């Protein structure tokens, strides 16, 4: 029986760095039925039939993407070791929280103000729906149908934001009730 330490050692020999995130934090063995190796940094999991013998690592399957979903396009694909070694790691996706239209630091008043803002925008888009496409067609030669579609989409996006924000307010009042 091959031990978890042996699997980790084999993986580290071929992969000092994680192919998905580029971290050298190392590997952790997991799984009882399917032996997997997991990156300690991003959480991407790997499986290989070569883990059974643990002599040479010829091929590897990405068993699970990283916790922030890097590597999704390569999920459940088996490739030769060389393929994974040559793969460019993906940068971590960082999100500037302040740019999100909803984040946990917003208080109820912030959310209510945001709802008003998006309502005003949605109304503006639908009000100008007839006029703007005709204007754009006259000035820039944009086909009326195309700018009508764009205006409708913009209006739907604003409306969706309103629904999400309203849901957040409902959720918050439900939580208060439960206390």
Binding site for Zn ion (CB under 5 A): 18, 20-21, 23, 39, 41-42, 44
- Looking at beta carbons only, is 10 or 18 nearer to Zn ion? 18
Classify strands 78-80 and 27-30 as parallel, antiparallel or unpaired: unpaired
- Quick one: which H or E segment has residue 32? none
Cα maximum dimension of the chain: 76
Minimum distance from residue 94 beta carbon to Zn ion (Å): 16
- Looking at beta carbons only, is 46 or 125 nearer to Zn ion? 46
Tokens of 130: 């007839």
- Looking at beta carbons only, is 84 or 125 nearer to Zn ion? 84
Minimum distance from residue 18 beta carbon to Zn ion (Å): 3
End-to-end CA separation in angstroms for the chain: 53
Tokens of 31: 């799984």
Query: What one-character DSSP code corresponds to residue 55?
Result: S
* Helix axis angle, 144-178 to 131-140, nearest 10°: 140
Minimum distance from residue 29 beta carbon to Zn ion (Å): 15
**Could you tell me which residues are beta bridge partners of residue 28?**
38
- Looking at beta carbons only, is 75 or 102 nearer to Zn ion? 75
Minimum distance from residue 42 beta carbon to Zn ion (Å): 3
Minimum distance from residue 92 beta carbon to Zn ion (Å): 10
Q: Cα 13 to chain center, whole Å?
A: 30
Decide: 31 and 75 in contact? Cβ < 8 Å: no
- Looking at beta carbons only, is 41 or 132 nearer to Zn ion? 41
């Amino acid at each position: 029986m091959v031990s978890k330490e042996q699997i980790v050692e084999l993986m580290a020999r071929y992969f000092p760095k994680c192919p998905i995130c580029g971290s050298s934090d190392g590997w952790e063995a997991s799984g009882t039925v399917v032996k997997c190796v997991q990156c300690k940094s991003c959480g991407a999991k790997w499986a290989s039939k070569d883990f059974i013998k643990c002599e040479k690592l010829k091929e590897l399957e990405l068993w699970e993407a990283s916790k922030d979903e890097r590597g999704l396009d390569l999920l459940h694909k088996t490739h030769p070791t060389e393929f994974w070694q040559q793969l460019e790691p993906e940068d971590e996706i960082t999100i500037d929280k302040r740019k999100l239209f909803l984040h946990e630091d917003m208080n109820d008043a912030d959310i209510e103000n945001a709802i008003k803002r998006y309502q005003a925008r949605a109304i503006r888009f639908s009000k100008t729906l007839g006029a703007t496409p005709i204007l754009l067609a006259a000035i820039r030669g944009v086909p009326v149908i195309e700018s009508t579609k764009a205006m409708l989409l913009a209006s739907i996006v604003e409306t969706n934001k309103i629904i999400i924000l309203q849901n957040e307010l409902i959720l918050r009042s439900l939580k208060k009730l439960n206390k």
